C-alpha cells in the first residue's frame, strides 16, 4: 500500500497542479481587488467556493480508472448535451443557463467535456482523411448536434470552442493542414465573398488545388467536385443573404460586432473601455486595487470576460507577461504528454483539453485588446464563474489522470 502511494506520488505532476494553484490564487486576488463595488463584494468568496468544488471534481476524475472514461464516454456525451435543450434562465438576451435548485449552471461548459470524451473515443479507433468521407459521418454528427444547440442559445464563442476541439482531433487523427483548409474552404469563401476580387481569386486557387489533389490521387473526383461547388455556392448564397435577406439594422449589428468602434457608446463600449484600462496600466500598473476603470465601474463584465483588463490596469505590462507566461508554461507542460502513440484515447483527451484552454486564452486576450470581436469567452483559471471554473478543474483532472500513464 505504501509502495503504491509512493509510486502515485512520484508520477503526480506537481508542476502542472502547482501552476493551476498559482493561477487560481491570482484569480481570487484580482476579484478581491475589485470588491469595493457592492455588487462585486462576494465574487472572490464565491470563486474560492467554485475552486473548492472544482478541486473535488478533479480528484474524482483522477480516482476513476481510465477505462471507465473510455467506456462511459458515449453515455456521458448524451447526459451532458441533453440539458442544452432545456436552458431557461436568460442573460442579456441569451438563453444559456439551466436552473436547478436555486443555482444556475451553464450546460454548454459541461457539454464540452462530453464532446471531448466522445470524439476522443471515436477518433481513437479510426484514421481519417478527405479521400474517404464515410468515416467522418459519425464524428461530424457527434460534433454538429451540440454545436447547433449551443449556437442556438446563442453562444457563438463556446460553439467555436467545440468546433476547435473537433478540428484539432481531425488533425491528430490523420488530416493534414491542407485537408483542414479544404474542409474549411466554404467558410473562407463566405468571409471573402464581400470583396468580389478576393473571392474570385480564392475560387480559382481553390479549384486548382482540388484539381491537383485529384491528380495526385489524394482526393476522389466526387469529393473534389463537392468541395469545389460548395466553395462557389457558399459565397454566392452569403452575398444573396447579405443583400436581400438581412435588413439594414441586422447588417449594422454584424458590422459593429466585427468592428466595435462603429458604435463606441453601445456595442463597442466594452472593448473600448478595456483598451483604456490596458493602456492606462503602463509598464508596471497602478497597483493592487488601484484600477480606476474597474473600481469606478467603467469596465463592464470586469470579473468575467474582461479580467485580463483588470490585471493589466493594476499590474501593467509586467503583470500581463507573468500571467501569460504561467498560462504558456501550463500549456507546454500539457503538450509534453501528447506524444505517446501507445494510447490514442489518452492522446486525444489531452489534445482536446489543451485546445480548449488555448482557444479560450487566445480569444479572450485578443478580445480585451480589441483585436477580435467581443464574444464572451472567459480566461482560463482567472475569470469568475462557477460552471467555467469547475469545467476547467475537471479538465485538469483529466490531464493529471492521463499523465499517470497507466490504466488504474
User: In this predicted model, which residue has the larger pLDDT, 241 or 115?
Assistant: 115
Mean pLDDT lowest among 61-65, 84-88, 344-348, 362-366: 84-88
Q: What is the percent of the chain with per-residue pLDDT over 70, rounded to a whole number?
A: 80
pLDDT value at residue 274: 74
Q: What is the pLDDT of residues 139-180, one digit of tens each?
A: 899 999 999 888 887 777 888 899 999 999 999 888 888 888
Average pLDDT on 322-334 reads 93
Tens-digit pLDDT profile for residues 248-295: 765 666 666 666 666 665 556 667 777 777 777 788 888 787 766 665
pLDDT score of 120? 93
Dump pLDDT digits (tens) for 285-298: 887 877 666 655 66
Q: How confident is the model at residue 6 (pLDDT cuts 50, 70, 90)?
A: very low
In this predicted structure, the answer to whether residue 238 has a pLDDT above a threshold of 70 is yes
CB 280 within 8 A of CB 286: yes
Question: Domain locations in the chain?
Answer: 1-63+265-408
Q: What is the pTM of this model?
A: 0.86
Per-residue pLDDT tens over the stretch 42-78: 888 889 999 999 999 999 998 888 889 999 999 999 9
Q: In which order are the strands placed within the sheet that holds 89-91? A: 89-91, 94-100, 103-105
C-alpha cell at 48: 474560492
Task: Tell me what the mean pLDDT of segment 18-34 comes to.
Answer: 92
Average pLDDT score, the chain: 82
Assign 193 a pLDDT band (cuts: 50, 70, 90): confident
Residues 295, 36 contacting (CB under 8 angstroms)? yes
**SS3 labels along the chain:** CHHHHHHHHHHCCHHHHHHHHHHHHHHHHHHHHCCCCHHHCCHHHHHHHHHHHHHHHHHHHHHCCHHHHHHCHHHHHHHHHHHHHHCCEEECCEEEEEEECCEEECHHHHHHHHHHHHHHHHHHCCCCECCECHHHHHHHHHHHHHHHHHHCCCCHHHHHHHHHHHHHHHHHCCCCHHHHHHHCHHHHHHHHCCCHHHHHHHHHHHHHHHHHHHHCCCCCHHHHHHHHHHHHHHHHHHHHHHHHHCCHHHHHHHHHHHCHHHCCCCCCHHHHHHHHHHHHHCCCCCCCCCCHHHHCCCCCCCCCCCHHHHHHHHHHHHHHHHHHHHHHHHHHHHHCCCCCCCCHHHHHHHHHHHHHHHHHHHHHHHHHCCCCCCCCCCCCCCCCCHHHHHHHHHHHHHHHHHHCCCCC
Highest mean pLDDT among 10-19, 97-106, 239-248: 10-19
Give the integer Cα–Cα distance in Å for 275 and 201. Answer: 36
Q: pLDDT, tens digit, for every residue of 378-400?
A: 999 999 888 899 999 999 999 98
What pLDDT does residue 162 have? 92
Amino acid at each position: 500500500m505504501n509502495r503504491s502511494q509512493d509510486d502515485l506520488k512520484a508520477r503526480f505532476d506537481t508542476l502542472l497542479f502547482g501552476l493551476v494553484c498559482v493561477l487560481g490564487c491570482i484569480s481570487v486576488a484580482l476579484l478581491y481587488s475589485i470588491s469595493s463595488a457592492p455588487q462585486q463584494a462576494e465574487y472572490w468568496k464565491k470563486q474560492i467556493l467554485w475552486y473548492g468544488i472544482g478541486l473535488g471534481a478533479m480528484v474524482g476524475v483522477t480516482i476513476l480508472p481510465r477505462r471507465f472514461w473510455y467506456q462511459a464516454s458515449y453515455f456521458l456525451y448524451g447526459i451532458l448535451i441533453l440539458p442544452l435543450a432545456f436552458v431557461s434562465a436568460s442573460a442579456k438576451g441569451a438563453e444559456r443557463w439551466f436552473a436547478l435548485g436555486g443555482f444556475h449552471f451553464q450546460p454548454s461548459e459541461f457539454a464540452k467535456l462530453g464532446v471531448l470524451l466522445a470524439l476522443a473515443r471515436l477518433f481513437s479507433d479510426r484514421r481519417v482523411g478527405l479521400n474517404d468521407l464515410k468515416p467522418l459521418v459519425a464524428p461530424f454528427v457527434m460534433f454538429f448536434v451540440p454545436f447547433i444547440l449551443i449556437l442556438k442559445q446563442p453562444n457563438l464563442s463556446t460553439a467555436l470552442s467545440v468546433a476547435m476541439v473537433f478540428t484539432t482531433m481531425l488533425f491528430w487523427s490523420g488530416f493534414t493542414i491542407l485537408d483542414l483548409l479544404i474542409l474549411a474552404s466554404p467558410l473562407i469563401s463566405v468571409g471573402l465573398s464581400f470583396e468580389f476580387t478576393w473571392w474570385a481569386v480564392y475560387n480559382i486557387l481553390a479549384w486548382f488545388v482540388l484539381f491537383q489533389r485529384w491528380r495526385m490521387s489524394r482526393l476522389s473526383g466526387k469529393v473534389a467536385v463537392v468541395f469545389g461547388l460548395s466553395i462557389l455556392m457558399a459565397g454566392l448564397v452569403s452575398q444573396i443573404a447579405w443583400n436581400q435577406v438581412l435588413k439594414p439594422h441586422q447588417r449594422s449589428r454584424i458590422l459593429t460586432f466585427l468592428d466595435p468602434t462603429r458604435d463606441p457608446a453601445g456595442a463597442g463600449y466594452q472593448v473600448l473601455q478595456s483598451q483604456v484600462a490596458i493602456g492606462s496600466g503602463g509598464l508596471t500598473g497602478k497597483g493592487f486595487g488601484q484600477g480606476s476603470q474597474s473600481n469606478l465601474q467603467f469596465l463592464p463584465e470586469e470579473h468575467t470576460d474582461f479580467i485580463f483588463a483588470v490585471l493589466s490596469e493594476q499590474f501593467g505590462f509586467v503583470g500581463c507577461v507573468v500571467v501569460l507566461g504561467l498560462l504558456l508554461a501550463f500549456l507546454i507542460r500539457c503538450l509534453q504528454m501528447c506524444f505517446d502513440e501507445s494510447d490514442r484515447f489518452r492522446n486525444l483527451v489531452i489534445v482536446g483539453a489543451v485546445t480548449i484552454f488555448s482557444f479560450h486564452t487566445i480569444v479572450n486576450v485578443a478580445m480585451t485588446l480589441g483585436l477580435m470581436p467581443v464574444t464572451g469567452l472567459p480566461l482560463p483559471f482567472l475569470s469568475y464563474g462557477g460552471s467555467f471554473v469547475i469545467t476547467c478543474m475537471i479538465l485538469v483532472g483529466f490531464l493529471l489522470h492521463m499523465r499517470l500513464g497507466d490504466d488504474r
